Chains A and B, each alone.
Chain A
Amino acid sequence: MFKLRSWVPRSRLVFAAAALQLSLFSSFGAAPPSEDELKAVFIFHFTQFVRWPPDSLPETDAPFVIGVLDDDPFDAVLARMIRDEKVGPHPLELRHVSNREQVLGCHILYVPRESEQKFRAEKLQGLPVLTVGESDRFLLSGGIIAFFSERNHVGLRVNLEAARNAALNINAQLLRIAQVVEPSK
Chain B
Amino acid sequence: MKPLSFRNRPIAAKLRLIIIVACVVVTALTCGAFVAYQWGASRSSMVRALTTRAQILAFNSAAAVAFNQPEDAAEILRAVQADPPTVGVAIFDKDGHLFTRYTTGIPESEIEARSVSSPHYAYSGGFVTVWVPIEAKKVRLGTLAIKRGLYEFYQQLRLYLAIAAGVMAASTLVAYWISSRLQRVVSDPILSLTGIARRVTEQKDYAIQAPRTSEDEIGVLTDAFNIMLLAIHNSQEETSRLYRQVREHAADLENRVAERTGQLLNANQELEAFGSSVSHDLRGPLRHIMGFSQILIEDYGPQIPKAARDYLDKIFERSAQMERLIDALLEFSRVSKQSLAVQTIDMARLCRKIVAELRPDDENHRIEVKIGDLPPCKGDLILIQQVLVNLIGNALKYSRNSNPALIEISASVPAGGTAPVYSIKDNGVGFDMVDADKLFVVFERLHDARDFEGTGVGLATAQRIIQRHGGRIWAESAPGAGATFSFTLGDPLASSGTHAPPSEAIPTT
Contact = CB atoms under 8 A, between A and B. Distances in A.
A174 B63 contact: yes
Interface stretch (B25-33, B134-142, B180-188, B384-392): B134-142
Contacts of A2: 49, 52-53, 56, 82-83
Given A4-B52, A7-B48, A154-B68, A13 B133 contact: yes
Interface stretch (A44-52, A56-64, A73-81, A123-131): A44-52
Nearest to A4: B49
B79 interface: yes
B56 to A, nearest CB: 7
B67 A156 contact: yes
Nearest to A42: B67
A16 B62 contact: no
Contact of B140 (A8, A16, A154, A155): A16
Contact of A15 (B52, B136, B138): B138
A17 B140 contact: yes
Contacts of B118: 10, 13-14
A45 B117 contact: no
Contacts of A28: 95
A177 B138 contact: no
Interface hub of A14, A21, A88, A173 (most chain B Cβ within 10 A): A173
Nearest to B63: A173
Interface string B48-81: 1101110110001011101111001000000100
A51 to B, nearest CB: 10
A13 to B, nearest CB: 5
B132 interface: yes
Contacts of B55: 8, 13
Contacts of B136: 45, 48-49
Nearest to B49: A4
A148 interface: no
Interface string B331-364: 0000000000000000000000000000000000
B187 to A, nearest CB: 56
A40 to B, nearest CB: 12
A176 interface: yes
A176 B60 CA distance: 10
A49 B137 CA distance: 8
B471 interface: no
Interface residues of A, number: 36
Contacts of B139: 16-17, 20-21, 45, 48
B119 interface: yes
Nearest to A171: B63
Contact of B117 (A4, A13, A155, A176): A13
B79 A1 contact: yes
A174 B67 contact: yes
Contacts of B83: 2
Interface in A124-164: 154-156
B94 interface: yes
B66 A13 contact: no
Interface hub of A14, A28, A38 (most chain B Cβ within 10 A): A14
A74 B372 CA distance: 153
A5 B45 CA distance: 11
A168 to B, nearest CB: 15
B102 to A, nearest CB: 14
Nearest to A10: B118
Interface in B117-162: 117-119, 132-133, 135-140
B52 A8 contact: yes
Interface in B233-258: none
Contacts of A171: 63
Interface string B445-466: 0000000000000000000000
B223 to A, nearest CB: 68
Interface in A6-40: 7-8, 10, 13-18, 20-21, 24-25, 28, 38
B135 A13 contact: yes
A24 B261 CA distance: 141
A176 B48 CA distance: 28
A49 B138 contact: no
A25 B95 contact: yes
Contacts of A173: 60, 62-64
Interface in B158-198: none
Contacts of B49: 2, 4
A176 B68 contact: no
Contacts of B135: 13, 16
Contacts of A177: 63-64, 67, 69, 72
Contact of A21 (B66, B94, B137): B94
A88 B60 CA distance: 21
A21 B142 CA distance: 9
Contacts of B138: 15-17
A145 B472 CA distance: 152
Contacts of A21: 94, 139-140
A154 B82 CA distance: 31
A13 B69 CA distance: 23
A25 B94 contact: yes
Contacts of A10: 118-119
B63 A1 contact: no
B131 to A, nearest CB: 11
Nearest to A29: B95
A164 to B, nearest CB: 19
Interface hub of B48, B66, B83, B95 (most chain A Cβ within 10 A): B66
A13 B137 CA distance: 10
B375 to A, nearest CB: 117
Pick the 7 closest A-B CB pairs, nearest first: A173-B63, A16-B140, A48-B136, A48-B137, A45-B66, A177-B69, A177-B72
22 contacts: A2-B56, A2-B82, A4-B48, A4-B52, A8-B51, A8-B55, A13-B117, A13-B119, A13-B132, A13-B133, A14-B117, A16-B133, A20-B140, A21-B140, A28-B95, A45-B66, A156-B67, A173-B64, A174-B67, A176-B64, A176-B72, A177-B69
Interface of A: 1-2, 4-5, 7-8, 10, 13-18, 20-21, 24-25, 28, 38, 41-42, 45, 47-49, 87-88, 154-156, 171, 173-174, 176-178
Given A2-B83, A154-B68, 11 more contacts: A2-B82, A7-B51, A14-B117, A16-B133, A16-B140, A17-B140, A42-B66, A48-B139, A176-B63, A176-B64, A177-B69
